[in-house]
Amino acid sequence: MVVNSSVARAAQTEDRTRTLNDFKSADALFHSLTFGASVLVLLVMGGIILSLIIAAWPAMVAFGVGFFETTRWAVHAKPHPVMGVLAPLYGTMVTSVIAMLIAVPVGLGIAVFLTELCPLWLRRPISTAIELLAGIPSIIYGMWGMFYLAPFLATSVEPSIVAVFSHIPLLNVVFAEPISNQNLFNAGFVLAIMILPFITAVSCDVFATVPPVLKEAAYGIGCTTWEVMRNVVIPYTRVGLIGGVMLALGRALGETMAVTFIVGNESKVTGSIFSAGVTISSLIANEFAESDGLHQSALLYSGLILFVLVFFVLTAARYMLARGERKLGA
């Protein structure tokens, strides 16, 4: 027995080493697999940026800085084509801002209502409706927007807005006649509906991560629902909320199909959000198929600019988060 046990102990040690080695190599494999997956993302991103830059190069050379100062989009102008990204860039930003101004408060409101105030029987139908909203293809939003929403807004809602603000300086420029049936505001409005599910779903999910004990404690010292949301839930979930909003903004900046149907596709910059405009993605969607040479290069250049724009938005969001974090001392 005694002899046996020492042999067994030796065998055991060997077993143990082997098992540990197995674990180690499995871990190493796991590490390299996940590492590979992450590096792949960087490679794909780098590849996309590089190929965009190469494709956009002829347009960069041909138009230079003027590309950002020109609203004309004249592919066949004589003697030289004149193409500028100012109007689409402006339209992209205006429609996205309008969409965010509408969708963020409404989306947050829905999320707060669903997680804090909603009676149980109503929770299911509302969240299903929100999910359905996310499932509708964007071309359907485009069609619906063109045939029903845009004419309704342009004839029934927007004239009264113009009338209300007509004597207030600045606002009478933003909300001005003539009202185009397809305009920047309508596009922003449809975008707002499209990005609403992103904001709502993400907000609901992060609200659910707040430890109940925190909320209970706040309620326990006599806080109102508003105070609990304002001082406990929202600060606790700030990072997640901004993430959801940025996801939505990303979609709004890049949305193509729906906007193309509603924005009016006119290459101009006007102060009024009730006049037709164009966005970078709708411009590319409209013209890419029939483009070649410098025209195509200019379209890809616009795409690159959109890419950079989204990059800056995300960076700005990170920066804001980091600053907020420092302020809180966390």
Q: Summarize as ranges the residues that interact with other proteins (CB under 8 A).
A: 72-78, 146-147, 151, 178, 180-182, 260-261, 264-267, 276, 278, 282, 285-287, 289-292
Residue 87 or 100 having the CB closest to other proteins: 87
Angstrom distances, CA of residue 214 to CA of 107, 176, 209, 223, 255: 23, 48, 11, 12, 39
CA dist 24 and 22 (Å) reads 5
Question: Which amino acid appears at position 310 of this protein?
Answer: V
Residue 78 or 326 having the CB closest to other proteins: 78
Name the 3-class secondary structure at 82: strand
Q: 234-254 and 184-207 helices cross at what angle (nearest 10)?
A: 150
CB of 86 to other proteins, least distance (A): 15
CB of 65 to other proteins, least distance (A): 21
Q: In the numeric block, which tokens belong to residue 305?
A: 């600019």
Which residues make Cβ contacts (< 8 Å) with residue 51, sequence separation at least 6?
none
Residue 237 or 265 having the CB closest to other proteins: 265
Residue 193 or 263 having the CB closest to other proteins: 263
CA dist 186 and 283 (Å) reads 17
Residue 160 or 290 having the CB closest to other proteins: 290
Nearest-5° angle of CA 303, CA 266, CA 106? 75
Residue 78 or 327 having the CB closest to other proteins: 78
CB of 249 to other proteins, least distance (A): 24
CB of 153 to other proteins, least distance (A): 12
CB 109 within 8 A of CB 196: no
CB 225 within 8 A of CB 117: yes
CA dist 228 and 143 (Å) reads 42
Question: Which amino acid appears at position 195 of this protein?
Answer: I
Residue 127 or 267 having the CB closest to other proteins: 267
CB of 243 to other proteins, least distance (A): 33
CB of 182 to other proteins, least distance (A): 6
CA–chain centroid gap for 60, Å, is 27
Residue 182 or 200 having the CB closest to other proteins: 182
CB of 162 to other proteins, least distance (A): 16
CB of 178 to other proteins, least distance (A): 8
Q: Is the peptide bond before 81 cis (omega within 30 degrees of 0)?
A: no
CB 134 within 8 A of CB 197: yes
